[in-house]
Amino acid sequence: MKIRSIQLTNWGPFEGVHSIHLDVSAGSPVVVVHGENGRGKTSTMRSLFWCLYGTVRDGYGYKVPTHELVNNQCCNDGQSSEFGVQLIVEFDAKDYEISRTGKVRQMPDALNVESEELSFRPVGEHPYSESKSIDMINLMLEEAIADFYLFDGEKLASVEKKLNKNDSDGQQFVQRSVERALGLSFADRLMSDIESVSSGFSDAISGQAKLLDDSEKLVLKKQGIEADIENLASDKRKLVEMRASIERARGDIANKLQDFDLIRDRLVERQLLEADVLSDSKKLDEKREELRHEADSSWYWPISKKLDAITLDLEESYDKSKKIDESNSKTLAQLHLLESNLSSHSCSLCGAEVDESSKKGIESRIKDLHRQIGDQDFEDPIVFADQLRKLSGYREKSKRFPVLEELVKSIANSDLELLTKKSRILELGEQIGSVGNPDILMLENDKDKLTTRISESERLEEQVDAKISTERSSLKAIQLKIQESPDLDPVERKKLEISDALDQILRESYDEFRENMRLQVEAASSNILLQLSSEVEYQKVSISPKYQVAMLDTSHQVLPSPSSGYSQILALAFIGGLADVAGSDNFVVMDTPWGRVDRGNRKLIMKWIRERSNQTIIFVQSGELTPSEAREHFGNKMGRQLSIVRQGPNSSKIEEI
Amino acid sequence: MEQARSGIGVSRSVKPTLETLAEKYFESMDAAFMACVTLAIAKELPIVATGPVERTWHAGGRRQELLDFIAWHLSAADPVQMMEQLGHAGLLYAKDHLEKNSPFEAIFAP
């Protein structure tokens, strides 16, 4: 592929329409485009990308927005204008016109791209459809490898950086580049096709293959389950052992606690009794205090029985004498009445005269009454009353004796109870003996913990049992399936084996192809390195199986940390190697490729360019190469020299030198 | 005629017993002493000479009631002396019991 011309319309610094003629003969394939910074060298190279693929990426792979590529003076505010790039290229001895155009409108802040259109046609013929156009462009120069042919200083720097990175990013970049150069995408598609064929073949015998596969899977699954069951059984055994150990420990503690149970009961009883004794003693003290109070006014108490008897006697005597006294009083009254009647000879009640017969009767009665009074053992009740009065102090105090007696009885009972309790405390103390106060609480706590652990262990065992049961069910089901699986036909088995072998061969071939690609790029890069390097030590580019790129010396040892200039040369050799391996007779466009390369190596690069037979377009600035130097270096290989010159502010034009 | 004594005394030999009784079973020494007097009457304890006594109480107040009782009940010509002697006898009786750590009722119960 060769570029005959580029026509830029309102592109980059090129306002209006600018044509660049790049057509060169096979004998003079070099085109040098001179231009100072900002004149439009990079814009021109980017125009090729944009025209072919519709996108432009910077050296770091970021997409450059189209409106930034368009000439920003092409239209006034609010107006629209056309922009675009037209290429005339030669491919397979035929000229084609590739044109990508669009319209932009100047908005207050920036240009707004309103439309874009691709046109591809053989010169003088009708345009192709868009899809065919894209196919044709990729046939001429696949987008994936375009940056091997169109690269600038930034791209070189980016490649250089990645080659210097000895990490997985750098290795992946190298691997992808190598695979792109050799069209691995095609190989991938081929591999995919092979797999489809293989899969189709497998499908054809899929029934048998599936049976075999299923059967093998079942056997594997069965083995897996058997292993799982064995592991679970092992876990179960460990759990049982652990539980037995815990149960033993718990048993020991339980025995200890059993021993302590009796003592614990005694300790508890003693503790309760001690509390009781304390409380009872307090109550007893209170009762004693009460008794002291009662006793203080009850000094008659010792003699109370005697005094009670005396009192009773006195009361009885008093009652008796009082009755006699009353009776005597009546008798005396009667006597007095009779004596009065006798002396007055008349009845004091009725006034009747007392005759002789009555007189005798009265006298007889008076005698009887005197005899009646005289016969009685009479003592004046006043005497008894006086004695009772002398006992009144006692009688008053004796009213409190029941309280005192109740207290005495209660104290005696309490004393007895207290004594019993104290005696029991002593007895318990002897029984508890030297055991002291064992930390029963701690032991019980330990026992509870162990019981919890046993429960946990039992729960885990149950879970393991459940799992084993489930696994055994699965195993049974699989065993049944395996038993029910029909035997594989020997012929079909053979076919499957052949299919597998074929698949294996194809995969190995694919890997071999990939390996060859690496070696081819390595050889091509080494070849270019030899042409570009002025140092004899730099003999070879090495691309390791892990896609690490390095320069080797004459004894094939890796040269550590090449200089900045040689890093750039290595990147150039790698890109050149990729371009060479990618094949075809494509053009190469290089934008300021010299960078940090010294004059010696720069000459070697130019020598390498001179020896190329394909169209090579180099964009340079005066610091890199002057027109006269270019003529001197490229001599008759120089096909054209162009210069991008300043036409006005932000405006350039291209002139032929 | 010798005038009846108006003070009541306790011999030194039984004073500690009286103090113990007062401390353990009564709120005051005169109550303890009077209880010992009635105890001696009730138990008909033999009357013995008290020996030298220390005047402790006057014969009045609540002790007068007991003196009257003694005078009436025992027809005592010198109730104060009788009271001292009875008290002494009662204290001697109580002393034996106290030494045996007998309870209140064992000494004074009727």
> pLDDT-derived band of residue A48, with 50, 70 and 90 as boundaries?
very high
- Which of B18, B34, B68 best tests the A interface by mutation, with the highest count of A CBs <10 A? B34
| CB spacing of A301 vs B26 below 8 angstroms | no
For the question of whether the overall pTM of this predicted structure is more than 0.80, the answer is no
Closest residue of B to A391, CA-based? B69
Order of all β-strands in the sheet with A638-648: A150-152, A588-591, A616-620, A30-35, A638-648, A651-656
In this complex, the residue of A293, A302, A391 whose CB is nearest that of residue B110 is: A302
> pLDDT-derived band of residue A486, with 50, 70 and 90 as boundaries?
low
* pLDDT given at position A424: 93
In this complex, the residue of A295, A300, A305 whose CB is nearest that of residue B26 is: A295
Which residues in chain A have Cβ-Cβ distances shorter than 8 Å to B34? 299
What distances in angstroms separate CA A345 from CA A331, A332, A339, one per listed residue?
20, 19, 10
* pLDDT given at position A101: 93
* pLDDT given at position A125: 92
DSSP code at position A63: B
Query: A40 forms bridges with which residues in the sheet?
Result: none
| CB spacing of B27 vs A291 below 8 angstroms | no
* pLDDT given at position A158: 73
| CB spacing of A306 vs B105 below 8 angstroms | no
| CB spacing of A300 vs B39 below 8 angstroms | no
| CB spacing of B69 vs A297 below 8 angstroms | no
* pLDDT given at position A194: 66
Contacts of A68 (CB under 8 A, 6+ apart): none
Which residues in chain A have Cβ-Cβ distances shorter than 8 Å to B109? 301-302, 408
Per-residue pLDDT tens digits for A559-618: 776 776 777 778 888 888 887 877 657 888 888 777 666 777 777 788 888 888 889 999
* pLDDT given at position B106: 93
| CB spacing of B110 vs A408 below 8 angstroms | no
Using only C-alpha atoms, chain A has a radius of gyration, in whole angstroms, of: 68
Answer yes or no: is pLDDT of A226 > 80: yes
SS3 assignment for A289-357: HHHHHHHCCCCCHHHHHHHHHHHHHHHHHHHHHHHHHHHHHHHHHHHHHHHHHHHHCECCCCCCECCHH
Contacts of A118 (CB under 8 A, 6+ apart): A54, A98, A99, A100, A130, A133, A134
In this complex, the residue of B25, B42, B68 whose CB is nearest that of residue A302 is: B42
Which residues in chain A have Cβ-Cβ distances shorter than 8 Å to B27? 292-293, 295-296
- Which of B73, B86, B93 best tests the A interface by mutation, with the highest count of A CBs <10 A? B73
| CB spacing of B65 vs A411 below 8 angstroms | no
Answer yes or no: is pLDDT of A186 > 60: no
**Which residues of B sit within 8 Å Cβ distance of A?**
24-28, 31, 34-35, 37-39, 41-43, 65-66, 68-69, 72-73, 90, 103-105, 108-110
Give the closest-approach CA distance of B56 to chain A in angstroms.
Answer: 17
| CB spacing of A302 vs B108 below 8 angstroms | yes
Which residues in chain A have Cβ-Cβ distances shorter than 8 Å to B24? 292
Q: Which residue has the tokens 């059993």?
A: A258
Q: Which residue has the tokens 């005038």?
A: B3
Per-residue pLDDT tens digits for A520-539: 888 888 888 888 777 777 77
- Beta strands at A549-552 and A540-543: parallel, antiparallel or unpaired: antiparallel
* pLDDT given at position A193: 64
Give the closest-approach CA distance of B71 to chain A in angstroms.
Answer: 10
| CB spacing of A295 vs B66 below 8 angstroms | no
Task: Give me the residue spans of the domains in chain A.
Answer: 299-399
Closest residue of A to B109, CA-based? A302
Contacts of A425 (CB under 8 A, 6+ apart): A270, A273, A274, A277
Contacts of A636 (CB under 8 A, 6+ apart): A27, A28
Answer yes or no: is pLDDT of B94 > 90: yes
- Which of A303, A394, A398 best tests the B interface by mutation, with the highest count of B CBs <10 A? A303
Which residues in chain A have Cβ-Cβ distances shorter than 8 Å to B110? 301-306
* pLDDT given at position A516: 83
| CB spacing of B103 vs A296 below 8 angstroms | no
Closest residue of B to A389, CA-based? B69
Task: Please compute the mean of the pLDDT values over residues A277-283 and round it to a whole number.
Answer: 94
Mean pLDDT of chain A: 83
Per-residue pLDDT tens digits for A25-40: 888 999 999 998 888 8
| CB spacing of A299 vs B31 below 8 angstroms | yes
Answer yes or no: is pLDDT of A414 > 90: yes
Per-residue pLDDT tens digits for A125-138: 999 999 999 989 98
* pLDDT given at position B5: 58
| CB spacing of B103 vs A412 below 8 angstroms | yes
Mean pLDDT of chain B: 88
| CB spacing of B108 vs A390 below 8 angstroms | no
Closest residue of A to B103, CA-based? A412
> pLDDT-derived band of residue A442, with 50, 70 and 90 as boundaries?
confident
Handedness of CA A575, A580, A518, A135 (dihedral sign): positive
Q: Buried b / exposed e across A546-574, counting CB within 10 Å, b at 16+?
A: ebbbbbbeeeeeebeebeebbbbbbbbbb
Answer yes or no: is pLDDT of B2 > 50: no
Answer yes or no: is pLDDT of B1 > 50: no
Task: Please compute the mean of the pLDDT values over residues A97-116 and round it to a whole number.
Answer: 88
- CA gap A55, A220 in Å, rounded: 53
| CB spacing of B103 vs A415 below 8 angstroms | yes
- CA gap A459, A457 in Å, rounded: 5
Q: How many beta-carbon pairs under 8 angstroms link A with B?
A: 72
> pLDDT-derived band of residue A488, with 50, 70 and 90 as boundaries?
low
Give the closest-approach CA distance of B51 to chain A in angstroms.
Answer: 24
